[in-house]
Amino acid sequence: MTLRIYADFNSGGSPGKGPCWLLRYGTQRRPLDEYTDELGLKAGMPVTLYYEDPAEEFEVSATLELSDHQRWVANPDWATLRRIRG
């Protein structure tokens, strides 16, 4: 099963806007960087990014990478966009 991670696409990740860097995990949406060891995160790992608010919800396949600052970012593949609501 692919890891499902909340992404705030205002932080990037839109086509032509570089990787998404505001990634959250778990029911409390804590920063993904806090789960590196627990989840066994690795550069190149495939994940699913999702976004939800009262008006819409969607998900997209992505690949995790480490930024120059050693923080997790994700590069979404917008060809895999799946609308769940909205």
Quote the pTM value: 0.92
Sketch out the chain's domains with CATH numbers.
3-85 (2.40.240)
* Res 86: pLDDT: 84
Cα–Cα distance for residue pair 57/45, rounded to 1 Å = 23
Task: Give the helix ranges, DSSP H, for the chain.
Answer: 36-39
User: Residue 80 pLDDT > 80, yes or no?
Assistant: yes
pLDDT at position 10: 85
Q: For the segment 41-61, what is each residue's pLDDT rounded down to a tens digit?
A: 999 999 999 999 999 999 999
> DSSP character for 19?
-
Q: Is residue 22 within 8 Å of 29, Cβ to Cβ?
A: no
